[in-house]
Amino acid sequence: MATTQEAPRTEQDTLQELARRHLWMHFTRLSAYAEHEVPVIVRGEGCYVYDEHGKRYLDGLSALFCVNIGHGRADIAQAGADQAKELGFFTNWSYAHPPAIKLAARIAELAPGDLNRVFFTSGGSEAVESAIKLARQYFKFSGKPNKTKLIARDVAYHGTSLGALSATGITALREPFEPLTPGGCHVVNTNTYRLPAGMTDADLAEAIAHRIEFEGPDTVAAVILEPVQNAGGCFTPPEGYFERVREICDEYDVLLISDEVICAWGRLGEWFGSQRYGYQPDIITTAKGLTSAYAPMGAMIASDRLAEPFLSGTRSFVHGFTFAGHPMSAAIAMANLDAFEREGILEHVRANEGPFRAMLESLRDIPIVGDVRGAGYFQAIELVKDQDTQASFSDAEAETLLRGFLSGELFRRGLICRADDRGDPVLQLSPPLIAGPEQFEEIEAVLRPVLTEAAELMRRSQD
Ligand SMILES: Cc1ncc(COP(=O)(O)O)c(C=O)c1O
């Protein structure tokens, strides 16, 4: 008797099924995978990752701005394994261990000015959360207890924990969780491609002074800004912006927090983004590239002035996270920074950011490419309906363009980058810092035909 036999289930089938049933992917429409495969990445090497079918992708986003040194580094993994054998874990709550001590000293040495005190965290949101709490407690100790508010910029992303979320300026991420921690205020960002009517570049920093005046200087604790703002698509600061922001912060006794979760560790060709733009923050928050994400780790780096009130008597910063300063992460961060120095990674980024940018600029002849902006290995292309008028796409059109076409098509052709519409629609490219001309050519070979097709698709949809 003839029987119809089902094909045997493969390991991939099982992973797909288990992912759909059990894995809650972050910031993800789970419904999207009802009909499409969940992308399962299994291996990485250099600038490339491989999926479960063995297909190779150019990781044009460094796994979310993280894997700065590149994938698959056995030496960095080994540093973690060696440390785990020696001391797998001990906490930084009242105790220290050599990896955290040595890493704190190394970070202090690299950080600008007197940012000498390093408070470790497990990631970026925790670093931002720590900075907000330090600002508040510092002012309580300094006889200015009403200084609690935080000024951030429109469309900026500073993390998702409730404190950090009050700094995040993206309505869609805030609205489901209202009411947020009080005190988060927002001002215009440095989108110089779309300056608000009547504003010049010089007014952008002044907006911060106006907001401090509006709120009352006695109530404002800190301003939090990224050197180059990620969300919205790599907004760089205009000439003189940070110099003026620093003056404003000094004038009103407001702390300047430089959120460098992305912009540190070579992403802009310097150890810290603030060094590229020549300003001195009171606090730097960082994560991601510190370990090139071979293990989770973040840090809040505070100035001597901010640590000073905590150095005497019964006072302490009443705040902490169990895993912060994890010895394995700290050992991995040390190995990562060793590799940066040994291999001249900062110099490599400085030497290659010009050709990287030039390749992206060369796409400007495609009708959908409106603006190209960014710094270092952190660049974005803004997509527009009309290059001359800079008209942007409606929400529905952006949905068709980004989710309906670009994200899937770029991935299908082997390029991982970010199609983002938290502000106006952009494509972001932020490859591992070891990328060079060969990878830039590959990126262009995918972007040019896909963007040309996207422009045609959008033109037809408007007919
Ligand atoms: C500037 C900035 N701040 C904070 C965060 C939050 O970091 P994490 O996702 O590690 O909590 C991010 C994440 O991308 C970020 O880009």
Pair (161, 207) in one structural domain: yes
381 lines ligand 1 (CB under 6 A): no
Pair (143, 277) in one structural domain: yes
Mean pLDDT on 23-43: 93
Confidence category of residue 461, pLDDT binned at 50, 70, 90: confident
Q: How many domains is the chain built from?
A: 2
Report in angstroms the alpha-carbon separations of 459 from 216, 384, 454: 49, 11, 8
- Report the distance separating Cα 47 and Cα 71, nearest Å: 6
Pair (65, 103) in one structural domain: no
Percent share of the chain, pLDDT over 70: 99
pLDDT of the residue at 423: 87
Higher pLDDT, 35 or 284: 284
Residue 21 lies in a domain: no
* Boundary residue ending a domain (343, 360, 393): 343
Mean pLDDT on 195-205: 96
Pair (101, 237) in one structural domain: yes
446 lines ligand 1 (CB under 6 A): no
Residue 7: pLDDT over 90: no
Pair (285, 353) in one structural domain: no
Confidence category of residue 328, pLDDT binned at 50, 70, 90: very high
Pair (335, 280) in one structural domain: yes
Phi (first) and psi of residue 452, to 5 degrees? -65, -45
Residue 263 lies in a domain: yes
Residue 59: pLDDT over 60: yes
Q: How far is the CA of 296 from the centre of ligand 1 (A)?
A: 12
For the chain, what percentages of helix, strand and coil (3-state, to nearest 5) are there? 45, 15, 40
Mean pLDDT on 72-82: 98
pLDDT of the residue at 385: 95
Tens of pLDDT, residue by residue over 165-191, are 999 999 999 999 999 999 999 999 999
Q: Using CA positions, which residue lies closest to atom 7 of ligand 1?
A: 124
158 lines ligand 1 (CB under 6 A): yes
User: CA nearest 397: which of 409, 407, 385, 389?
Assistant: 385
CATH code of residue 338: 3.40.640.10
* Boundary residue ending a domain (343, 361, 392): 343
Best residue for ligand 1 mutational test, from 66, 150, 158, 290 (most atoms within 8 Å of Cβ):
158
Residue 402 lies in a domain: yes
pLDDT of the residue at 3: 57
Residue 20 lies in a domain: no
Q: How far is the CA of 233 from the centre of ligand 1 (A)?
A: 15
- Residue 114: which domain range? 74-343
Confidence category of residue 421, pLDDT binned at 50, 70, 90: confident
CATH code of residue 391: 3.90.1150.10
Confidence category of residue 5, pLDDT binned at 50, 70, 90: confident
Mean pLDDT on 302-322: 97
- Report the distance separating Cα 108 and Cα 113, nearest Å: 9
152 lines ligand 1 (CB under 6 A): no
136-140, 227-231, 327-331, 397-401, range with the lowest pLDDT: 397-401
Please give the number of the atom of ligand 1 that sits closest to the Cα of 125: 11
Tens of pLDDT, residue by residue over 125-141, are 999 999 999 999 999 99
* Boundary residue ending a domain (311, 343, 375): 343
Pair (117, 169) in one structural domain: yes
132 lines ligand 1 (CB under 6 A): no
Q: How far is the CA of 157 from the centre of ligand 1 (A)?
A: 7
- Report the distance separating Cα 445 and Cα 440, nearest Å: 9
Q: How far is the CA of 64 from the centre of ligand 1 (A)?
A: 10
Pair (271, 419) in one structural domain: no
261 lines ligand 1 (CB under 6 A): yes
Which tokens go with 188?
A: 């215009």
Say if CB 257 and CB 293 are below 8 A apart: no
Residue 23 lies in a domain: no
Mean pLDDT, all residues of the chain? 96
Pair (108, 173) in one structural domain: yes
Mean pLDDT on 86-95: 97
pLDDT of the residue at 179: 97
Residue 450 lies in a domain: yes
Tens of pLDDT, residue by residue over 227-276, are 999 999 999 999 999 999 999 999 999 999 999 999 999 999 999 999 99
Q: How far is the CA of 178 from the centre of ligand 1 (A)?
A: 20
Pair (245, 370) in one structural domain: no
Residue 16 lies in a domain: no
Look-up: residue for tokens 């703002």? Answer: 229
Pair (290, 369) in one structural domain: no
- Cα angle 320, 333, 233; round to 5: 85
125 lines ligand 1 (CB under 6 A): yes
Residues 6 or more apart whose Cβ sits within 8 Å of residue 459: 367
Tens of pLDDT, residue by residue over 333-359, are 999 999 999 999 999 999 999 999 999
Pair (196, 294) in one structural domain: yes
Cα of first residue to Cα of last residue in the chain, in angstroms, is 58
Residue 206: pLDDT over 90: yes
Residue 7 lies in a domain: no
Mean pLDDT on 353-379: 98
